[in-house]
């Protein structure tokens, strides 16, 4: 998945906003809360970061193509970064981004979800 495909996929979710911040990263939010980040890794290749459940975090910690998200995971947050973007993990990435969106949006208040038109 390239950045254009990543951005198009993130934009397909309801009530999302996009900002460019943190060193030219594409940051996707719902209700003002981050659910996905598209950036460049230390090696300057594409990297995609997302929030996970505790179970998925443990599963992905040692999975090929994934690393604990720099900065976020070191602070105890359950965020993973996909660093293998050759294409064979694209379906997995879509699943994890959708899950991240679900986790973050479900953490919003009921009032916020209603205002944003997100199904509860």
Per-residue pLDDT of the chain (120 residues; tens, 9 = 90+): 899 999 999 999 999 999 999 888 999 999 999 999 999 877 788 999 999 999 999 999 989 999 999 888 888 889 999 998 777 889 999 999 999 999 999 999 999 999 999 975
The pTM of this model reads 0.92
How would DSSP label each residue in 60-106? HTTSTTEEEPTTTGGGT--EEEE---SSTTHHHHHHHHHHHHHHHHH
Position of tokens 């003002």?
A: 32
In this predicted structure, what is the pLDDT of residue 82?
93
Q: What is the dihedral of CA 64, 70, 75, 78, to 10 degrees?
A: -40
In this predicted structure, what is the pLDDT of residue 101?
97
Is 3.90.1150.30 the CATH classification of the domain at 3-114?
yes
């Amino acid at each position: 998945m390239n950045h254009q495909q990543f951005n198009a996929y993130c934009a397909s979710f309801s009530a999302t906003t996009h900002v460019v911040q943190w060193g030219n990263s594409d940051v996707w939010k719902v209700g003002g809360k981050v659910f996905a980040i598209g950036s460049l890794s230390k090696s300057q290749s594409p990297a995609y970061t997302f929030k996970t459940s505790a179970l998925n975090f443990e599963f992905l910690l040692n999975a090929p193509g994934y690393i604990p998200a720099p900065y976020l995971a070191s602070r105890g947050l359950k965020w993973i970064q996909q660093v293998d973007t050759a294409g064979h993990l694209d379906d997995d990435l879509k699943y994890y981004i959708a899950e991240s969106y679900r986790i973050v949006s479900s953490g919003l208040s009921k009032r916020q979800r209603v205002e944003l038109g997100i199904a509860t």
